[in-house]
A and B are shown apart, each in its own frame.
Chain A
Amino acid sequence: MLEVLEPGLLSTVQDAGRPGSTDLGVPISGACDPWSLAVANALAGADLGAPAVEMTIVGSTFRVLDAGRLALAGADLGGWVRETGRRLLPGRIHVVEEGSTLEFPGPADPRSGSRAYVGLPGGVAIPSVLGSASTCLVGRFGGLAGRPLEPGDRLGGSGGGGPSGLSEMRTDAVWAVPGDPAPGWDPSRRPIRVVAGPHLDRIGAEVLEALLAARWTVADGSDRVGLRLRGPDLVGAAAGAVRDSWPELPSHGVTWGTIQVPPDGAPIVLLVDHQTTGGYPVVAVAVGADRPRLGQLRPGSTVRFEQTDLATARAALLRQRATLLAGVAALEDPAGPWDDLWRSAGG
């Protein structure tokens, strides 16, 4: 059981999201970096999509009310135990002592991502609302009364012993996946893959080319709703007639990863708290396999985009899933290749 002493910048309870009420205007919510949510839960001994605490850049400070185990994944927010100075690194299980204080003052490395996940055994115990424990900030429901963590909040796990094969010997094991470093480590290191959007017939292929050619900077004002990008004017890249009269479309459903171009020419990449519908032309859509890295970008991060096709995108997602499940299987198997798995990644 953890008690919140300081809330941090924006810490909320999030799970795999609430996709079942989008027709009522309810955002999907959920973890911005679903890979790291899954890793935190796997290490903590919870279902991969179970509720966890998502912390943003400057994390919360917790007091440990009873000794136990928790897991961290995602960005390294500089976590440490105040009393002992022990570091709390992501991708690891941590045994924490009663009465100790856990602090996450913010990333020491400027390349670091922005979001970290705290997993508890069995998942954070939070009732489900409309099929999910995720905090819906705009609707003020889900999570802890639909709001970020506040001092005095108490968070416990739903229980369960965790992965059967995880002995005390392995509580310092590192989750590191060969060839696929965690999204929380320098999310800008590779381009975000996109497929062409549905409105190129309205705005012209030049706009997509301009999106792919530029290096973008994530602007202030970016949040769980979306990333606002700073760079060249995409409306200015369009052919004359379109540029002079930028189309507004009848509102339509949009998805996580949708890249909209409003009339000011500065693209917006939608994240998990996005409105369910929008009317700006969609130039491209980021692929599912790269959503975890999108969720780790923060104001000041740079980002590039690279075009791919649907078959490649799907293959990447299937590979990512298989990698995740191999890691989970290794955790479940006491005689399994867990040590090899993390050693092969240089862990």
Chain B
Amino acid sequence: MSPPKVRCEPFGDDALIVTLVGEDGDVIDVELNRRVHLLAGSLLRLRDADPRLGRPVAGFSTVLVPYDPLEMDAADAGALVAPLAGAAAAADLPAADDPARTVTISVHYGGPDGPDLMEVAAATGLRPADVVEIHAGPTYRVFMLGFAPGFAYLGPLPEELAVPRRATPRERVPAGSVAIAGRQTAVYPFATPGGWRLIGRTDRRMWDIERASPSMLRPGDTVRFEPVRGASRGASRDPFVG
């Protein structure tokens, strides 16, 4: 496979966006996303030396790089960023993930914790127990964080479980809900509106501002889900507080 192409363009007057363009266009590509995190990591190190650069924000196949427009212009920023982007596109990726960055999340599947489990089973032609087994099977990657503090987009979800988002989003999804949509899965860190299908819930706090590192999941981590019996603590008390 040839290395991805690199596009580096202005995004407004105080950021650049680097896009890694793979052979499959917009398809979510694990290798491309690993290169994105490689680039975000090298930009963070560059930022330690050059505070004119802002914190990079990784997307699926992009890195947004803010810069201080009082201190530099887009050409200056591009000259700093482009070599790192080229290096990340061409780098040899490590064969295995760092096991120290694998997070295991216990999930209470189904029942009041996963009100959409039966619907997902019906839509996919699987038994609910199979949905659980398939969801808890793979090791997922944190493709990116967004939507809300600590909300990690995880994937790829096995093809058999790919279901569209709800036509009408819920006004409030309980904190800790484990959800799926398309080829992705996620855990809602806060009670927010949400359109993904809820199949379970965890008691772990995905975001806790009192922790030294408030977000349970960070860019580049890997995640495993582990089914546990019984209902979540949240299901038996205020359903919206995580």
Q: Which of A22, A26, A197, A253 contacts B62 (CB 8 A)?
A: A253
Q: B131-142: contact bitstring with A at CB < 8 Å (1 yes, 0 no)?
A: 000000000000
CA distance A20 to B44 in the complex (A): 11
Q: Tell which of B83-91, B145-153, B195-203 binds the partner.
A: B145-153
Q: Which of B63, B66, B148 contacts A139 (CB 8 A)?
A: B148
CB-defined contacts of A249 to chain B, threshold 8 Å:
26
Known: A24-B218, A138-B190, A276-B57. A255 touches B146 (CB 8 A): no
Known: A25-B146, A25-B151, A317-B70. A253 touches B12 (CB 8 A): no
In contact, A275 and B146 (Cβ under 8 angstroms) = yes
In contact, A19 and B207 (Cβ under 8 angstroms) = no
Cβ of B56 within 8 Å of any chain A Cβ, yes or no, is: yes
In contact, B215 and A24 (Cβ under 8 angstroms) = yes
In contact, B55 and A22 (Cβ under 8 angstroms) = yes
CA distance A150 to B54 in the complex (A): 34
Q: Tell which of B13-21, B99-107, B122-130 binds the partner.
A: B13-21
In contact, A255 and B12 (Cβ under 8 angstroms) = yes
Q: B59-71: contact bitstring with A at CB < 8 Å (1 yes, 0 no)?
A: 1111110100110
Q: Which of B26, B56, B73, B209 contacts A129 (CB 8 A)?
A: B209
Number of interface residues, chain A, beta carbon within 8 A? 44
B contact residues, range:
35 or more
CB-defined contacts of B56 to chain A, threshold 8 Å:
23, 253
In contact, B190 and A139 (Cβ under 8 angstroms) = yes
CA distance A277 to B144 in the complex (A): 9
Chain A residues numbered 289-321 whose CB sits less than 8 Å from any CB in chain B: 310-311, 313-314, 317-318, 321
In contact, B209 and A285 (Cβ under 8 angstroms) = no
Cβ of A288 within 8 Å of any chain B Cβ, yes or no, is: yes
Cβ of B28 within 8 Å of any chain A Cβ, yes or no, is: yes
In contact, A277 and B12 (Cβ under 8 angstroms) = no
Chain B residues numbered 203-231 whose CB sits less than 8 Å from any CB in chain A: 207, 209, 214-215, 218-219
Q: Which of B59, B62, B64, B145 contacts A24 (CB 8 A)?
A: B145
How far does the Cβ of B78 sit from chain A's closest Cβ, in whole Å?
Answer: 11
Known: A25-B215, A252-B17, A310-B74. A198 touches B209 (CB 8 A): no
In contact, B66 and A198 (Cβ under 8 angstroms) = no
CB-defined contacts of A276 to chain B, threshold 8 Å:
57, 145-146
Known: A25-B215, A317-B69. A253 touches B13 (CB 8 A): no
Known: A250-B28, A310-B73. A23 touches B58 (CB 8 A): yes
Q: Which of A23, A250, A251, A285 contacts B40 (CB 8 A)?
A: A23
Interface residue SS majority, chain A? mixed
In contact, A277 and B13 (Cβ under 8 angstroms) = no
In contact, B146 and A195 (Cβ under 8 angstroms) = no
Cβ of A44 within 8 Å of any chain B Cβ, yes or no, is: no
In contact, A255 and B15 (Cβ under 8 angstroms) = yes
CA distance A318 to B13 in the complex (A): 12
How far does the Cβ of B190 sit from chain A's closest Cβ, in whole Å?
Answer: 7
Pick from B14, B15, B147, B209 the residue with the most CB of A within 10 Å.
Answer: B14
Known: A198-B11, A287-B13, A310-B74. A252 touches B60 (CB 8 A): yes
Q: Which residue of A lies closest to B64 (CB)?
A: A253
CB-defined contacts of B54 to chain A, threshold 8 Å:
19, 22
Q: Which of A23, A250, A282, A311 contacts B60 (CB 8 A)?
A: A250
Cβ of B116 within 8 Å of any chain A Cβ, yes or no, is: no
CA distance A276 to B40 in the complex (A): 15
Cβ of B192 within 8 Å of any chain A Cβ, yes or no, is: yes
CA distance A141 to B12 in the complex (A): 29
Q: Which of A129, A198, A251, A310 contacts B146 (CB 8 A)?
A: A251
Known: A250-B28, A253-B57, A255-B66. A198 touches B149 (CB 8 A): no
CA distance A249 to B28 in the complex (A): 10
Cβ of A119 within 8 Å of any chain B Cβ, yes or no, is: no
Cβ of B111 within 8 Å of any chain A Cβ, yes or no, is: no
CB-defined contacts of B14 to chain A, threshold 8 Å:
255, 288
In contact, B70 and A253 (Cβ under 8 angstroms) = no
In contact, B73 and A277 (Cβ under 8 angstroms) = no
CB-defined contacts of A24 to chain B, threshold 8 Å:
145, 149-150, 214-215, 218
Cβ of A143 within 8 Å of any chain B Cβ, yes or no, is: no
Cβ of A258 within 8 Å of any chain B Cβ, yes or no, is: yes
Q: Which residue of A lies closest to B207 (CB)?
A: A139
Pick from A26, A252, A288 the residue with the most CB of B within 10 Å.
Answer: A252
In contact, A314 and B13 (Cβ under 8 angstroms) = yes
CB-defined contacts of B192 to chain A, threshold 8 Å:
138
Pick from A250, A255, A277, A314 the residue with the most CB of B within 10 Å.
Answer: A250
Nearest first, the 8 A-B pairs at minimum CB distance are A253-B64, A277-B146, A285-B12, A253-B57, A252-B59, A250-B60, A25-B145, A313-B13
Beyond contacts A198-B9, A288-B14: 17 other A-B pairs, Cβ-Cβ < 8 A, are A19-B66, A22-B57, A24-B145, A24-B215, A130-B209, A136-B149, A197-B11, A249-B26, A250-B26, A250-B28, A250-B60, A253-B58, A253-B62, A255-B15, A275-B147, A285-B11, A310-B10
Write the residues of chain A forming the contact surface with B, with a CB cutoff of 8 angstroms. Answer: 19-27, 129-130, 136, 138-141, 195, 197-198, 249-255, 257-258, 275-278, 282, 285-288, 310-311, 313-314, 317-318, 321
Q: Can you list 23 contacts pairing A with B, beta carbon distance less than 8 Å?
A: A19-B55, A19-B66, A23-B56, A25-B152, A138-B148, A138-B149, A138-B190, A139-B209, A141-B209, A195-B10, A195-B12, A250-B28, A252-B59, A252-B60, A253-B17, A253-B57, A253-B63, A253-B64, A257-B12, A276-B145, A288-B13, A314-B13, A321-B70
